[in-house]
Every structure is written in structure tokens, then in C-alpha cells.
Structure 1
């Protein structure tokens, strides 16, 4: 069953249940309301007739009786009993067979139901109004209307109300069907776009125009498809770059090894070939080691063993290890800490490797100096590595931390990717941009230790 059919069915069932409950409540309260209205009507008409007649002689005249009949013409089922002194019957519309029952009921003031306005006389329920006459309280006008007639009226009204409610419910369900169809249509289109993701047609996924939560889901699906498309492209480029990086040293090793085996290289040339084979083997080993490390950083769990570290101490270690490179490049390296020395909780070896990659990258591109700035915020420490080099090409900035993406003077294109993986696994972040005047700025943020750990 489709989503549209399920929503319409559920809404229809709910509406039918509410209609049945509403009809039942109306049916139960309707009789009480009709009885109350009937009693008020009888009191009003009876009291009006009594007020127009001043004495007993006027009450028993045929004109007065006819006037009472005209007042009650709207309800011909009303029975009239006009009693004088000593319960003498002056006038009545009751049949003679029922008169004695009514007199007996009046003698014992009738057997009352739960509602004091309902009397049980001769096995039937009546709405009874007992009004005293003005000239004598013992003389009374009794008006009685059978409840059976009110029940018939209630049944007719209830049927009419139920019919109206059912027609309204049917119209509402039909309207909800078309409204649900409009609402569900974007979901059907969204399913088609998700199937494109299933078959890896990421670039063909489109945004679905919608509103509310469906629009949010549509936007997330589109963003996911774009990210998967980008990731798929990165994976393709990674395989191409990895094969290229591995192919170059392998070709050199193969070429010199075959040359030495076939006697093409002899003497000093053979020794030089062996040196190249050793160097290329080391380079190949380094590439494979970096690829394996990057794969571990992105997949394995218990790889990090954090401890409490001083940021300035960590930066000093990196500066000491890179001191030979700074001398070789004739580049000065300085460090400044704004405020107190922040304490972080990270894996020392991993973070130090990330910092060495970033600072080493800055030294290879700097002209005269590299500056390292440390700043402690409320929840995180920031390390900025700034150089005065040529900066990063704008088209390379979004892809700088991808695997095998190399800039000018780059080595393997894995160092920054490894640094990003380390920092992100340490609950931090890393970003790169060009400086306001010249050079590049690498900004690494790492979480501070909680105060109780400090």
C-alpha cells in the first residue's frame, strides 16, 4: 500500500471514529435538551393561559378551553388536565380509561424518574408541568407530553445529524486524498533521486522542490550525492595518483636491475644503479608506509592514546626536529604564545607528526620566515603556522587536504591529508588559507583539557 493510501486511510478511520463519538454524544444529550425545551414551552404556554383568565368561571368556559387548545396547537400530543377543588375534573383531553391512572398518579404525586420532570404514568414516561391557578393553589393546570414523541424527534434529528456528519467526513476524506497526493508527490520524486544514488549516478541527482521537512530531506540527499560524487572522484584520482607514484620508482628499480643482470651496467655504472635501486626502494617504502598510515587513521579505532600536553612544548619539539631543514632553507622560525600556555589532551606522537607535516610544508614554501602563533580560547587551543611564501593557488585551496594533491615543491601529496586525519580524529579541525599580504596560513584547533583535568 502506498504512503498516500495509508495516510488517507488512517485519516479516514480517525475521522469516522470522531464522527461516531460526536454523533453518540449528540444522541445522548439531545433527549435531555428536548425534554428541557418541551418543559419550558409547556410552562410558558400554560402560564400565559392562566394569566389571561382571572377566575374559575373564565377558566371553564369553552372560549378559554379553545384558547388553551390554540396555544398548544404546535404540539397536539400534549394532554391537558384542569382540576378544581377537591380534584374535581373541569376539563381534560385524557381518555376516560387513562383518567383514573392519572388521578392515582396525582394522588401519590406520580412515580418520578431520575429526572424530576419525568413522570411514569401507565407504563409511559411523560414530561409533566403542574401549574397552580391564581385564584386557588388547590386548583391546578396539568400539562403532560409523552417522552415517546420526543424520542422519535430525537431519532429523526440524530439521523439527520449523522447524515450531515458522514457527508462532511466523506468530503473531508476526498479533500485529504488530493492534499495528501500533493504532499506525497515530492517523496515519490525523492525516491527516484535516491535510486540514482543506489546506482552511483551521483552527478545526475537533482534538488526536489518541496517545503518543510521534505525540503530539508531533499537538500540533504542532494548534498549527500554531491559529497559522494566528490568522494568517488577523489577515490578515482587517488588510484590514478597512487599507481603513478608507485609506478615511477618501480620502473627505475626494474630498469637498473635488468640492466645489471644483462651486463649493460658494469663497474661504476652498476654501483650507481644499485644506489638508485636502494634509493627508489626507500622512496617506495615511504609511499607505502604513508598510504598504510592514512588508511589506519581513517578506519582503525584504538589507534590514539591521548595524554596531557603543553602546546608550547609540542611546538618546541617540532621546531627542534625541523631545525636542520630551516638551516638548509635559510628560513627563520619563531613562536609566540598569546596568553597562558594551553594544555591539550591528545596523542602526542600523532599530533607531533601532524605539526611536523604542516611546519615542514611551510618551510619548503617560505622565503625568509615562518611564524607559529599559539592562542588559548575558552574550549580550544589554536595553532597558526604562517609563512611569507607565494601562497596557495586559489583553485587548490578546496582540495589541499585531499590525498596525492601536491602544490609547488610538494613531495608525495599525503602529508596534509595525514595531518587532517590526525587532527579530526583528535576532535579538532584544520584549515588553510592565504594570508592578507602574502604567504599561506594553516590554522589547527585542538580541544583543551577540562578544568578538573588541568
Structure 2
């Protein structure tokens, strides 16, 4: 059973339950309400007639009887019993055979049920109003309306009410069916799109138009598919690039090793071949090491152990390690330290590795000098690494931090990808752009250490 049918059935059952309970309660209270209203109406009309007769201050005449009959009997069936002094029946609409029963009931002050509004006369129930005339308890006006008439009214009202409720219930169920269908349709489409993800057809996933919470889920699924597609493409490119980078040194090693084995290279040539084999082996080891490091940075959770360190101190330590390369390239490095405390909460070894990669990259591309400026903001310390080199190709900028993407003088193409992984895992961010005149500008933002 699909979700649309289940929701509609549950709603219909709930509606039937609520309607049934409401109908039972209304039916039980309706008769009591009708009896109370009938008694109130009879009392008001009877008192009105008595007051009018009392004001006239004369004996009850035929005109008074006619007025009473017109006032009470014309609208609905109401029995009248007007008793004078010495229990003389002055006027009645009751059959002569029932008068004695009413007089006896009046004598006994009526046999009553728990509901005192009801009198039992013979086999019938009546709503009875017993009013004294002219402040004389012995002269009375008795007005009675049969309960069966009220029961008929109740049945008619209940029937009409149930009919209206049934029409409303059917209309509501139909409306709920269409509303539910409009809600379920995006879910069905969303299921289709999720199945595409299941079969790794990430690029085929479409954004499902919807509203409310379903729209948020649809957008999340679409974003997830795009991210998975991007990740899948990166993985594919990674495998291609990794195989290419690994294949090149392996071919050199294989070629020289086979040449030495077969005697193609001898003496000086063989020694040169051995040197190439050692060099390419070291290069291969370096590539594998960086690939493993990058994989750990992107997967292992407990790899980072942050503590408080000065950003300027980390930059100085990175420059010290790169001093031989600086001397070789004859590049001057200028440091502009922050004027306020620049304590960051990071993993010392990992962030130092990121600085080594970024400053080392600047040294390879700079012409004469590098400027490193440390600025302290509200939540982050930002380190600017600015070189005066040729800058980065515009088409390369968006992909510079991807794996195996390297510029003209690049080595393996994993250094900046490793740096980005370290900075982002440290809850910071790294950006790059070309300078206004020349060179590249790297910005590394790291979170300030919390105040003690």
C-alpha cells in the first residue's frame, strides 16, 4: 500500500471516529436541550397570558380562553388544562377520558423521572409547565407538550446533521486525497532520482520541484548528487593522473634496469643508469608518500591534535627549513608580523607542512622577493604570501588546489592539495589570486585560539 493511500485511509478513519463520537454526543444532548427550550417557551407564553389576565383584574372569560388557545395551540401541539377553584376544569384541550388522569397526576404532584421536566401520564411522556393563576395556588394553568414530538424533531435534526456531516466528510476525504497526491508526487519523483544515485548515475539526477520540507530534501539530494559526481570525477582524474605520475618513473627504472641487465649500459653509462634508478625511486617514494598523506588527511578523523601556537613563529620556522632553497634561488623574504597576539589553535606539524608547501611554491615562482604579512582579525589570523613572479594562469586558478594540478615549475601537483586539506581540516580556509601587477597572492586564514 503506497503512502498516499495510507495517509488518506488514516485521515478517513480519524474523521469517521471524530464524526461518530460527535454524533453520539450531540444526539444525547439534543433531546435535553429541546426539552429545556420547550419548557422555557411554554413558561414564557403561559406567564404572559397569566400576567395579561391578572392585569385585567377580572374573571377568566371566553375571550381569555380564546386568546390562550390562540397563543399556545396554534404553533404546535400543546395540551392545555385550566383549573379553577375547587379543582373545576375551566378549559382543556385534553380528551375527556384523559382529564381524570391529569387531575390525579396533579394531585400526586406528578410521577416524575430523574429529569424533572418530564411527566409520565399513562403511556406517554410530556414536557409539563404548572403555573399558578393570580397568586392562587389552587387555580392553575397546566401546559403540556408530548415528548414524542420533540423526539421526532431530534430525529429530523440528527438526520439532517448526519447528512451534512457525511457530505462534508466525503468532500474532505476527496480534498485530502488530492492534497496528499500533490505531496506524494514529489516524493515519488525524489525516489526515482535517488535510484539514479544508487546506480551511480550522478550527472542524470535532476532537481525535483517541491515546497516546504520536501523542497529542502530535494535540494539536499540534488546537491549530494552534484557533489558525488564531482567527487567521482576527481577520483577518476586522480587515478588517471596518479597512474601517469607513477608510470613515468617506473618506465625509467625499468628501462635502465633492463639495459644494465642485458649489458646495453656498461661502465660510466651503467653508473649513470644506476643514478637515474635511485633518483626515480626517490621520486616514486615521494609521490607515494604524498598520496598516502593526502588520503589520511581526507579520511582519518583523529589525525589532528591542535594546540596554541604563534602564526608568525610557524612562518619563521617554515622559512628556516626552506633557507637552502632560498639561497639557491637568491630570493629575499620580507616578514610583516602582526602588532597584536596571533595565537592560533592548530596542529603544529600539519600547519607547518602547509606553510612549507605554500612558501616553497612561492620560492619556485618568485623572481626577486616574497612578502609574508600576518594580520589578526576578529576570529581568524590571516597569512598573506605574495611573490613577484609571473602569476598563475587564469584557466588554472579554479583548479589549483586539486590533486595532480601543477603549473609550469610544479613538481608532483599534490603539495597545494595537501595544504588545502590541512587548512580546511584546521577549520580555516585558503584562497589564491593573481596580484594587480604581477605574482600570486595566497591567503591562509586560521582560527584564533580561544581566550583562557
TM-score greater than 0.5 by the shorter chain:
yes
Of residues 399-408 and 90-99 in structure 1, the stretch that sits farther from structure 2 once superposed is 90-99
1:394 matched to 2:394: yes
Give 3-state SS (helix, strand or coil) of 1:177's partner: helix
Looking at structure 2, the residues matched to 155 and 300 of structure 1 have their Cα atoms a distance apart, in angstroms, of 76
Aligned-residue RMSD, C-alpha: 2.5
The answer as to whether partners of 2:333 and 2:369 remain within 8 angstroms in 1 is: yes
Partner of 1:440: 440
Give 3-state SS (helix, strand or coil) of 1:304's partner: coil
Partner of 2:94: 94
Give 3-state SS (helix, strand or coil) of 1:263's partner: coil
The correspondence of residues 168-247 of structure 1 with structure 2, limited to 5 A, is 168-247=168-247
The answer as to whether partners of 1:375 and 1:382 remain within 8 angstroms in 2 is: yes
Partner of 1:82: 82
Residue 170 of structure 1: CA displacement?
Answer: 0.3
Alpha-carbon deviations, 1:202-246, whole Å to 9, x = none? 111122222222222222222221111111111111111001000
Q: CA, structure 1 residues 100+306, in 2 after alignment: closer, same or farther (shift >3 Å)?
A: same
Give 3-state SS (helix, strand or coil) of 1:373's partner: strand
Give 3-state SS (helix, strand or coil) of 1:192's partner: helix
Q: Structure 2: where are the runs of 5+ without partners?
A: none
Looking at structure 2, the residues matched to 97 and 450 of structure 1 have their Cα atoms a distance apart, in angstroms, of 103
Partner of 2:344: 344
Q: CA, structure 1 residues 123+385, in 2 after alignment: closer, same or farther (shift >3 Å)?
A: farther
Give 3-state SS (helix, strand or coil) of 1:128's partner: strand
Give 3-state SS (helix, strand or coil) of 1:374's partner: strand
The answer as to whether partners of 2:79 and 2:93 remain within 8 angstroms in 1 is: yes
Give 3-state SS (helix, strand or coil) of 1:394's partner: coil
Give 3-state SS (helix, strand or coil) of 2:183's partner: helix
The correspondence of residues 50-449 of structure 1 with structure 2, limited to 5 A, is 50=50, 53=53, 54=56, 57-59=59-61, 61=62, 63-74=63-74, 76-95=76-95, 98-107=98-107, 109-110=109-110, 117-119=117-119, 125-134=125-134, 136=136, 138-449=138-449
Alpha-carbon deviations, 1:111-169, whole Å to 9, x = none? 66666544455575532223333485642211122333312311221121011101111
The answer as to whether partners of 1:55 and 1:135 remain within 8 angstroms in 2 is: no
Residue 97 of structure 1: CA displacement?
Answer: 5.5
Q: Structure 1: where are the runs of 5+ without partners?
A: none
Of residues 91-100 and 37-46 in structure 1, the stretch that sits farther from structure 2 once superposed is 91-100
Looking at structure 1, the residues matched to 122 and 446 of structure 2 have their Cα atoms a distance apart, in angstroms, of 95
Partner of 2:17: 17
* Number of aligned residues: 450
Looking at structure 1, the residues matched to 186 and 390 of structure 2 have their Cα atoms a distance apart, in angstroms, of 49
Q: CA, structure 1 residues 373+100, in 2 after alignment: closer, same or farther (shift >3 Å)?
A: farther
Give 3-state SS (helix, strand or coil) of 1:338's partner: coil
Looking at structure 2, the residues matched to 440 and 120 of structure 1 have their Cα atoms a distance apart, in angstroms, of 107
Q: CA, structure 1 residues 401+108, in 2 after alignment: closer, same or farther (shift >3 Å)?
A: farther
Of residues 97-106 and 406-415 in structure 1, the stretch that sits farther from structure 2 once superposed is 97-106
Looking at structure 2, the residues matched to 55 and 22 of structure 1 have their Cα atoms a distance apart, in angstroms, of 51
Of residues 9-18 and 345-354 in structure 1, the stretch that sits farther from structure 2 once superposed is 9-18
Q: CA, structure 1 residues 117+294, in 2 after alignment: closer, same or farther (shift >3 Å)?
A: same
Give 3-state SS (helix, strand or coil) of 1:34's partner: helix
Alpha-carbon deviations, 1:305-328, whole Å to 9, x = none? 222212121111011111222222
Partner of 1:7: 7
Looking at structure 2, the residues matched to 111 and 139 of structure 1 have their Cα atoms a distance apart, in angstroms, of 20
Q: TM-score when scaled to structure 1?
A: 0.91
Partner of 2:35: 35
Residue 304 of structure 1: CA displacement?
Answer: 2.2
Looking at structure 2, the residues matched to 26 and 337 of structure 1 have their Cα atoms a distance apart, in angstroms, of 84
Looking at structure 1, the residues matched to 386 and 102 of structure 2 have their Cα atoms a distance apart, in angstroms, of 111
Partner of 1:45: 45
Give 3-state SS (helix, strand or coil) of 2:200's partner: coil
The answer as to whether partners of 1:311 and 1:341 remain within 8 angstroms in 2 is: no
Looking at structure 1, the residues matched to 144 and 11 of structure 2 have their Cα atoms a distance apart, in angstroms, of 47
Q: CA, structure 1 residues 9+384, in 2 after alignment: closer, same or farther (shift >3 Å)?
A: farther
Q: CA, structure 1 residues 362+126, in 2 after alignment: closer, same or farther (shift >3 Å)?
A: farther
Alpha-carbon deviations, 1:230-266, whole Å to 9, x = none? 1111111111100100010011111111111111111
Give 3-state SS (helix, strand or coil) of 2:213's partner: helix
Give 3-state SS (helix, strand or coil) of 2:385's partner: strand
Q: CA, structure 1 residues 432+17, in 2 after alignment: closer, same or farther (shift >3 Å)?
A: farther
Q: CA, structure 1 residues 360+19, in 2 after alignment: closer, same or farther (shift >3 Å)?
A: same
Residue 55 of structure 1: CA displacement?
Answer: 5.4
Alpha-carbon deviations, 1:257-287, whole Å to 9, x = none? 1111111111111111111111000000101
Looking at structure 1, the residues matched to 23 and 388 of structure 2 have their Cα atoms a distance apart, in angstroms, of 83
Give 3-state SS (helix, strand or coil) of 1:384's partner: strand
